[in-house]
Homo-oligomer: A and B are copies of this chain.
Amino acid sequence: MSKHTIIRLSRYKNALYRFESLGFVKVFSDNLADAIGVTPSQVRKDFSMFGLSGNKRGGYKVDELLAKLNEILGTNKAHNVIVAGAGNLGSALIKYKGFEKENIKITAAFDIDHSKGERAGEIPVKPFDEMQEYVRQNDIRVGIIAVPDMAAQHVADVMMAGGIKGILNFAPIRLRVDEGIVVNNVNLALELENIIYFICVPMGSGKGIK
């Protein structure tokens, strides 16, 4: 199943929550398509690949669809995640509100300098040495890498040694990982650079925005 399809599934889900809060009981493929910026065909195709069905004339029931999407995406279960690196980015992630409503919780952060922000009421910042054992003991499956570039590969290795299966990597390097380990990269500088390219390219020439 392609990554793009799953991303769209998440977007449908977000949109559905908004429709729900607006009082919608059912939606049509047209509504969802509009909401996330794809064609209605795409919506129906995506749904049919996961056996999500609607009524031939009544569209899709919002609550049913949401329940099924949450089940497919795994967001009906809680997931615990750790962060390596408690610098600027790491601490912002620890405090980030957006994970909660997807049932995702950051349970611990690790840093070589664990004095960083060890505050009561917040998530503990532990010494990096303890990470592997913590991962193992708490059966953590997903880790976030928010350490300097040079340390990223080592952190990834330790995460994998502890049993982590998926990594969200903020370091602008390609991690070498074992077979079957899932890595998503977020490269902030690259995102900006990309925007800069597309606003600088002369629009006239038929090039420009994709």
A residues in contact (CB < 8 Å) with B = 1-3, 6-7, 10-11, 14, 35-37, 72-75, 79, 81, 88-89, 91-93, 95-96, 98-99, 101-102, 104, 141-142, 144, 165-168, 172-174, 180, 182, 184, 186-201, 203, 207-210
Contact B104 A193, beta carbon cutoff 8 Å: yes
User: If A1-B201, A37-B174, A96-B89 touch, does A195 touch B75 (CB 8 Å cutoff)?
Assistant: no
Contact B3 A194, beta carbon cutoff 8 Å: yes
CB distance from A171 to the nearest CB of B (A): 9
Of the candidates B95, B168, B196, B199, the one whose C-beta lies within 8 Å of that of A195 is B168
Which residues in B have their C-beta under 8 angstroms from that of A191?
168, 184, 186
Contact A95 B88, beta carbon cutoff 8 Å: yes
Which residues in B have their C-beta under 8 angstroms from that of A195?
142, 166-168, 182, 184
Which residues in B have their C-beta under 8 angstroms from that of A207?
1
- A15 (CB) vs chain B CBs: closest residue: B174
Which residues in B have their C-beta under 8 angstroms from that of A7?
190, 194
Contact A203 B180, beta carbon cutoff 8 Å: yes
Given A7-B190, A186-B188, 14 more contacts at CB 8 Å? A7-B194, A10-B194, A35-B174, A36-B174, A79-B192, A104-B196, A166-B195, A166-B196, A166-B198, A167-B195, A182-B195, A182-B198, A184-B194, A186-B191
CB distance from A4 to the nearest CB of B (A): 8
Which residues in B have their C-beta under 8 angstroms from that of A190?
7, 10-11
Contact A14 B74, beta carbon cutoff 8 Å: no
Which residues in B have their C-beta under 8 angstroms from that of A166?
195-196, 198-199
Which residues in B have their C-beta under 8 angstroms from that of A89?
92, 96
Of the candidates B142, B172, B188, the one whose C-beta lies within 8 Å of that of A196 is B142
CB distance from A202 to the nearest CB of B (A): 12
In the bound complex, how far is the Cα of B197 from the Cα of A74, in angstroms?
A: 6
Of the candidates B74, B96, B142, the one whose C-beta lies within 8 Å of that of A88 is B96
Contact B2 A188, beta carbon cutoff 8 Å: no
